[in-house]
Chain A
Amino acid sequence: MGEIILTMKGIDKTFPGVHALDNVDFELCRGEVHALMGENGAGKSTLMKVLTGIYKKDKGTIIYDGKTVEFTNPREAQQAGIVIVHQELNMLGHLTVAQNIFIGREFMKGIRIDDERMNVEAARLFKRLNINIDPTEKMSNLTVGKQQMCEIAKAISHEAKIIVFDEPTAALTESEVNELFEIIRDLKKKDIGIIYITHRMDEIKLITDRVSVMRDGAYVGTLISKDSTKNDIVNMMVGRVIYEEPKTESKVAEDAPVVLKVEGLNAGKLVRDVSFELHKGEILGFSGLMGAGRTETAKAIIGADPKESGDIYVNGKKVEINTPEDAVKCGIGYLSEDRKRYGLMLQRNVAENSTITFLENFMKGIFIDNKKENNETEKYIESLAIKTPGIDQLIINLSGGNQQKVILTKWLVRNCDILIFDEPTRGIDVGAKSDIYKLMNELVKEGKSIIMISSELPEILRMSDRIIVMCEGRKSGELRIEEASQEKIMHLATLRN
């Protein structure tokens, strides 16, 4: 391991409602792969965004290559040799792969962009990383995995001194993961420092040298990967927070009535012939890689996306669901993975967000009965322990967890029996996370049934009674909780058929 190339000291960052980073320290050496771990919302990504100048830090110092630096935008960071492979893909769908890779630093021939050369360079780059992608292909035509690879290739092509990988493997199949690891080892040899953000314990041992853990926006500690155990890390990550024990067996009787039955559902290329049953009082886990078609399945079920074929039965009788309206009438509620975009009405307040699903219930004549509305909302704020200054608070000012609870509220207000939770704990802090888990368990006790889509295996194993694994739009397997394990799920998730 070479000498230290990067030191971050006492980094502090606050967003309205959340204290994202609380006096965080971090250091990185040349030729080191330094894993950064922590639950969602622990502040890993935020820290990296501060490093690369996407966010401006409130306090703290960054020493890079011996000099104190303060990047005001990603470009400066890039030029200094710090690049980040974002968890969310930053692709320009209308441009070709090569054009994406060299965006912002095109090869010029006079005033003309030299696309030919860019294609050649890109091809050479892919060859070096032995990835098989056509540089002249439109970015939007690639699979999520390939797009991810392009992102990585782009980062590497910057001739960087530090590369940040933010959950790079989330979308990759096993073979692609191995390719990636090859690349990373190769980079190590070149003395490049690598910060590797991940959730997958097994990867730590595989390629990282050290692992630093964050929790609730604070730095917890650093371990040497090879002489630390999984549990050490987990303990650091989870800390004092108590989770329910991982389920050992399902409490749902085999013969529990089927509330939702989907048969041969087809919708686009990400939902191919999906069939399953949801029992009363059951939490049905949907696992799989990013882009495996879980969300698409959910959207097809609630009629948000048009389905080509397939039958849906609610409580045994066949129903026609063509729009979310129909779905809600059948008592199916959907909590989207992307809160901001599909869940929240940012400019409106808590009460309005909570009652939107069931306004009919709050009418006095033609007018809205604000009193009733407020009481109802109050009640849920109470029971769900939503932290908000008041019901007339704009929802945009709440923290992720509380926003999620408000969204949950609107389905409880509507009193739906079937709830589809899409990544219910994405990007919310640990405390709120366990609250959500408790809620889910209470809900099923009340006899509601839940479909939980989640990319976090621990979450799946902790909550589900049954697990359905999807791969490339197909249901690649179904596991009873008793038999389920991370390995089995990963295997099914990357199963080709």
Chain B
Amino acid sequence: MSRQIQNIPASSNKSIVQRLGGQNVVVFLIVVALFGFFCIVSPNFRRYSTILSILDYSYYITLIAIGVTFPLITGGVDLSIGTGLICYSLIGGYLVVYQGWPVWIGMIVCVLCGAIIGFINGFLVGTMNLPPFLATLCTMMMTRGLGSICSTGLGIPWPTAGTEGGWFRTIFKLNIGDMKLPLGFLWILLLTALMSFVLNHTKVGRYIIAIGSNKEATRLSGINTKYIYIAAYVISGTFAGLASIAYSAIFASVYPGTGAGFELEGIGGAIIGGVSMTGGVGSITGTLLGVFVICILKTGLPFIGLQANWQQIITGIVLITAVLIDLSRNVKGTKSITTAFKKR
């Protein structure tokens, strides 16, 4: 364990301190810059409605990103959130649309399913010591399958606004006359605040960071790491559940077999927001900002007449650049084996 001392080389300490404040500022500026750029280039972009759509399409990504931040900070990862999101929405929607359950129960079901899958992940990682990547890869495949199985392969049209049960769509967008209020953004902000609190000021959060910076030491401090892992993944799962509600509320209907790739946007957002893959470092606000970089790109690029397929290339490049920048500041010149290879 003596190596742990060297693992955090003096050079990188500052950057860790800075990152929590520093990086957020940087990312925030990037967000503003992007937004400004699109406003200038495309006149149609400068509309209240555009901001609305950016927000609309950001909710579900933001939610899974906030959730996945916790596993990432433990030094793990959760791949099951993307397909999971769709899976939960399908299950919940199936009950609502084809079994005639009330919408609010359907929503609860969504969240519960998320929590359960999250628990399974946590159990696999914490108790059965499976590599997080693999464990969640499996649940990713499973949720992909389970979703369609439970919804009998159907696409699910959640109740539309106006129709009976359509009220739940107003959770994320409130129409007052012609005025449309992005209510969802309020929830996002509240959740961000809440989860930052959980991460920084509660035991669970504290121990999650602890595990991320030195699992063995945390164990020796007499903390039951198993529970902490489970907690981390349950959080991530639950947020995937919430995201599934957001998704169903924003988009007309949900289709099986989709959802792979969402997790990448979520994780990507978190990474851009300064969460380090090696664990121990990260902030919820950072994640929130990171996600908006991706979302603005996603919504903005079509406006400057770029065909959809270019968007993927650009997001890919953005992601790598973000990590490269992070590394360059993190390792700060020392390609010391201890820092460069810390993860293993």
Contact = CB atoms under 8 A, between A and B. Distances in A.
Q: Which of A92, A138, A338 counts the most chain B CB atoms within 10 A?
A: A92
A73 B209 contact: no
Given A75-B222, A94-B281, A141-B13, A113 B209 contact: no
Contact of A99 (B16, B206, B223, B337): B206
B160 to A, nearest CB: 39
Contacts of A341: 3
A118 to B, nearest CB: 10
Nearest to A323: B335
B202 A94 contact: no
A78 B197 CA distance: 29
Contact of A95 (B2, B202, B213): B213
Contact of B335 (A75, A108, A111, A306): A306
A67 interface: no
B217 interface: yes
A147 B4 CA distance: 12
B223 A104 contact: yes
Contacts of B281: 94
Nearest to A308: B333
Contacts of A268: 9-11, 334
A493 to B, nearest CB: 18
Contacts of A73: 222
B317 interface: no
Nearest to B212: A94
Contacts of A291: 5
A113 B1 contact: no
A366 to B, nearest CB: 29
A89 B17 contact: no
A89 B4 contact: yes
A364 interface: no
A88 B2 contact: yes
A93 B214 contact: yes
A106 interface: yes
A293 B264 CA distance: 42
B203 A93 contact: no
B336 A74 contact: no
A89 B223 contact: no
A371 to B, nearest CB: 33
B201 interface: yes
Contact of A92 (B17, B217, B222, B337): B217
A95 B16 contact: no
Nearest to A53: B222
Contacts of A104: 221-223
Nearest to B210: A92
Contact of B216 (A90, A103, A111): A90
Given A94-B280, A305-B334, A306-B335, A89 B1 contact: yes
Contacts of B197: 112
Could you tell me the dominant secondary structure of chain A's interface residues?
Answer: loop
B210 A95 contact: yes
A299 B6 CA distance: 13
Nearest to A115: B201
B221 A90 contact: yes
Contacts of A304: 336-337
Q: Which of A73, A103, A141, A304 counts the most chain B CB atoms within 10 A?
A: A103
A133 B207 CA distance: 23
Contacts of B218: 92, 103
A86 interface: yes
Contacts of B201: 112-113, 115
B228 to A, nearest CB: 11
B286 to A, nearest CB: 14
B214 A92 contact: yes
Contacts of B121: none
B151 interface: no
A113 B207 CA distance: 12
Interface in B1-54: 1-5, 7-11, 13, 16-17
Nearest to A83: B222
B220 interface: yes
A112 B214 CA distance: 23
Interface string B264-296: 000000000000000011000000000000000
Contact of A106 (B203, B213, B337): B203
Nearest to B198: A111
B333 A306 contact: yes
Interface in A126-142: 138, 140-141
B220 A342 contact: no
A338 B3 contact: yes
B336 A338 contact: no
A110 to B, nearest CB: 10
Contact of B209 (A90, A94, A108): A94
B10 A269 contact: yes
Contacts of A113: 201-203, 206
B334 A95 contact: no
Interface in B220-238: 220-223
B285 to A, nearest CB: 17
Interface string A323-345: 00000000000000010011000
Contact of B4 (A93, A99, A103, A112): A93
A326 to B, nearest CB: 14
A93 B4 CA distance: 8
A93 B213 contact: yes
Interface in A282-318: 291, 299, 304-306
A91 B217 contact: yes
Given A99-B206, A113-B203, A141-B13, A90 B214 contact: yes
A89 B2 contact: yes
B110 to A, nearest CB: 26
Interface in A223-278: 268-269
B1 A90 contact: yes
Given A93-B280, A94-B213, A113-B206, A88 B223 contact: no
B40 to A, nearest CB: 40
Nearest to B20: A94
Given A144-B5, A304-B336, A304-B337, A94 B203 contact: no
Given A88-B1, A93-B280, A138 B206 contact: no
Interface string A53-85: 010000000000000000001111011000000
Contact of A89 (B5, B202, B213, B280): B5
A89 B6 CA distance: 11
B221 to A, nearest CB: 4
The 9 closest A-B pairs by CB, nearest first: A75-B222, A90-B217, A93-B8, A88-B1, A140-B8, A94-B213, A94-B280, A104-B221, A88-B2
6 contacts: A79-B222, A90-B221, A92-B210, A92-B218, A104-B221, A306-B335
Interface of A: 54, 73-76, 78-79, 86, 88-95, 99, 103-104, 106, 108, 111-113, 115, 138, 140-141, 144, 147, 268-269, 291, 299, 304-306, 338, 341-342
Given A74-B222, A92-B214, A95-B213, 14 more contacts: A90-B216, A90-B217, A93-B7, A93-B8, A93-B214, A94-B209, A103-B206, A103-B221, A104-B221, A113-B201, A140-B10, A144-B5, A268-B10, A306-B336
